[in-house]
Structure 1
Amino acid sequence: MANKYGTEQDPYTYNDTGVLINKLNIHDEVLLDEAETQFNTLAAMGIEFSAPPYDFAYFCQLHKWLFDDLFEWAGKCRTIDISKDETRFCHVNRLQLEAERLFAQLESEHYLVGLPFETLVERLAQYYCDINVLHPFREGNGRTQRILFEHIVINCGYNINFSGVTAEQWLEANIQGYYCNYAPMQTLFLRCVSLPK
């Protein structure tokens, strides 16, 4: 039986249930989702803003902070290829190389500091979608990305609030971004990013 990422015989899951192997030994997907929500909420509240560099190692560290209480592999790149519906994420053999390339590009753009607002939103949208295509972790990519982008936006001197965007809107914007149509994600960032009051 294939899991939500379309992988069979997934080494990250319990064979009998397809649920991610976890430190709490939970074999029920609903219970694990509830535990993840509780642990993530607490972990996210403990993550303080950090100035650059925002490199791939930092992205992995954010994931570790968020998921270390639940998963042995927190902060580590996945070792299998994954996909979701028609979206195939970065091939595992290219993952480290593509991640390093993308984060080096972000650094070369000075983490987007000093850009005019419209340009900032365009670059945020493209980076968000491109990092989403990496999907370096077996689970928790979106939550980790949102914290990374909070830090990037705050470092640029703006506020960001994702609460007005639904999961369905993020999903659709990321699907469009997979095909290099960044306009839907730009629209979402225009709603989420604002000047400090």
Structure 2
Amino acid sequence: MTHIRQSEIAEGRGPSGNFDKEHLKAIHGYIFQDVYEWAGHTRNESPIVDGARVEPIGNLSKGSTSFLHGSRIDFGLDEAFKPIRDPDVLRAATPEQFAERAGQVLAELNFVHPFREGNGRAQEAFIIELGRHYGQEVDFTVISKPRVIEASIETTNDPSSPAMKHVLEDAINPNRREALRAAFDDLEQCGEKPFEHNIRTARPGEEITGQILGHDDRVASIVTDERIIAVDRADLPERLPDDNTEVSFTARS
């Protein structure tokens, strides 16, 4: 049911708003309206569920990551939306500039974790709508869950980390999306489930060492110790090494 509602939002049939906390709550409420009585309510609120008022949730964590205390959610949401508060800046933004601002919002929203459940789906739908409004196509279907989890942890531990910006760049840039889809295909041909792996594209100047999973005349997939990286085929040696042999190079794009 939530997938249907997310599809409706992706088609532009979701709730409209001013890209603030009320808009985010409306999106959450739309996605989960068929599932939770408290859909659209943040965890610092006390909605009625099964005829009784539920208590707010203060402390919330996943694994070793702790999120913002419930008593500070309203403040946290106000802070999270600051990078997108000026519509003129967003209208004039390049895809890279938009990715930076949207990445900041996504990282902050993850730290605030305003809802009892369904934070990731609501946040992604919010960013997709933001992109649609300002002429940027954001496609999260090329972003795997392990990738998002890693970026969320990195930006929570270090707010200056560019990890979430890189997630947005991969979701916006058509060439990066194509490279990621090629990596997904390489994994499927090996009998793997792509969305169970941490997959991203290379960054300019990045030193990469790993084994070649697959390639064509445009892109290649490299398996490193930590993740799978989609790279430009032109960055690799013209003559590739034998299978299961490591290759080292510097990414240029």
Asked whether the two chains share a fold, i.e. TM above 0.5, the reply is yes
Q: 2:159 aligns with which of 146, 156, 180?
A: 180
Q: 1:155 aligns with which of 111, 133, 136?
A: 133
Q: 1:120 aligns with which of 88, 95, 98?
A: 98
SS at match of 1:127: helix
Q: Give the number of the structure with larger relative contact order, counting CA–CA contacts within 8 Å between residues 6 or more apart.
A: 1
CA 1:49–1:114 in structure 2 vs 1: closer, same or farther (change >3 Å)? Answer: farther
CA distance in 2, matches of 1:132, 1:90: 9
> Is contact 1:89-1:133 (8 Å) kept?
yes
CA 1:192–1:147 in structure 2 vs 1: closer, same or farther (change >3 Å)? Answer: same
Runs of 4+ residues over 4 Å off in structure 1? 49-52
Shift of 1:46: 2.4
CA distance in 1, matches of 2:100, 2:79: 19
Question: Which is richer in strand?
Answer: 2
SS at match of 1:180: coil
Aligned residues: 157
> Is contact 2:110-2:152 (8 Å) kept?
yes
CA distance in 2, matches of 1:164, 1:77: 28
> Is contact 1:98-1:134 (8 Å) kept?
yes
Q: 1:100 aligns with which of 66, 70, 78?
A: 78
1:59 is the counterpart of 2:24: yes
**1:40 match:** 2
1:189 is the counterpart of 2:168: yes
Shift of 1:167: 0.3
**Larger CA deviation: 167-176 vs 119-128:** 119-128
1:83 is the counterpart of 2:45: no
Q: 1:69 aligns with which of 22, 31, 34?
A: 34
Gaps of 5+ in 2: 44-55, 175-253
CA 1:171–1:111 in structure 2 vs 1: closer, same or farther (change >3 Å)? Answer: farther
**1:131 match:** 109
Shift of 1:145: 0.5
Provide TM-score, normalisation by structure 1: 0.72
RMSD of the alignment, in Å? 2.0
CA 1:168–1:100 in structure 2 vs 1: closer, same or farther (change >3 Å)? Answer: same
CA distance in 1, matches of 2:75, 2:164: 25
Question: Which is richer in helix?
Answer: 1
Provide TM-score, normalisation by structure 2: 0.57
CA distance in 2, matches of 1:112, 1:83: 32
CA distance in 1, matches of 2:34, 2:146: 27
CA distance in 1, matches of 2:80, 2:88: 13
Gaps of 5+ in 1: 1-38
In structure 1, what residue type is equivalent to 2:130?
Answer: I
**1:27 match:** none
> Is contact 1:121-1:190 (8 Å) kept?
yes
**Larger CA deviation: 50-59 vs 129-138:** 50-59
> Is contact 2:2-2:32 (8 Å) kept?
yes
Aligned-residue identity in percent: 25
Shift of 1:175: 0.7
